[in-house]
Amino acid sequence: MTPVEQLLTIALCVAGTMTTRFLPFLVFSDKRPTPRFVQYLGRALPGAVFGLLLVYCLRDVSFFSGTHGLPELAGIAVTALLHLWKRQMLLSIAGGTVFYMALIQLVC
């Protein structure tokens, strides 16, 4: 690839990304009220999307070989328990991550 082709490749990545980010806001303008159905989607989607993101983080974990995803599930359990107990975002995230790192570095 020549430098110009490289720049074009990067520009196309930007164009693709920005299309997906701006499109909903361009279709449903700031000035007119959003259709009822889209408002419904806007309220119903976040829950579903956070479920998707959580699964997305685990997409490369193989549950049927190696450690069977047990360190990941244990890390998530520790994070969730910490969060249900203290409800301090940073504590839950740091605790879960440190627990997971210790688990895979020292045990698995």
Partner 1 sequence: MHCKGMRRRALKAAFPYTIPIFAGFWFLGLAYGIFMNVSGFGFWYPMLMSLTIFGGSLEFVAVTMLLGSFAPLQTLAMALILQARHLFYGIAMLEKYRGLGWKRFYLIFGLCDETFSINCTAEVPQGVDRGWFYFFVTLLNHLYWFSGSTIGGLVGSLLQFDTEGIGFVMTAMFTVIFLEQWRKEKRHDSSLLGLAVSAACLSVFGADSFIIPTMLCLLVLLTALRRPIERRCLMP
CA distances from 19 to 5, 8, 14, 70 (A): 21, 16, 8, 38
Question: With binding defined as CB under 8 A, does residue 107 bind partner 1?
Answer: no
Structure tokens given for 30: 């700031």
Taking the complex as a whole, how short is the minimal distance between the CB of residue 78 and partner 1, in angstroms? Answer: 9
Distance CA 47, CA 40 (A): 12
Instruction: Out of 9, 68, 85, 107, name the contact with partner 1 by CB under 8 A.
Output: 9
Question: With binding defined as CB under 8 A, does residue 97 bind partner 1?
Answer: yes
Beta-carbon count within 10 A of 32 CB: 7
Q: Which is nearer to partner 1, 1 or 65 (CB)?
A: 1
Closest CA to 83 of 99, 105, 70: 99
Structure tokens given for 101: 């790192």
> Mask of contacts with partner 1, 36-75, x by CB under 8 A?
-xxxxxxxxxxxxxxxxxxxxxxxx-----------x--x
Question: With binding defined as CB under 8 A, does residue 85 bind partner 1?
Answer: no
Taking the complex as a whole, how short is the minimal distance between the CB of residue 92 and partner 1, in angstroms? Answer: 5
Question: With binding defined as CB under 8 A, does residue 106 bind partner 1?
Answer: no
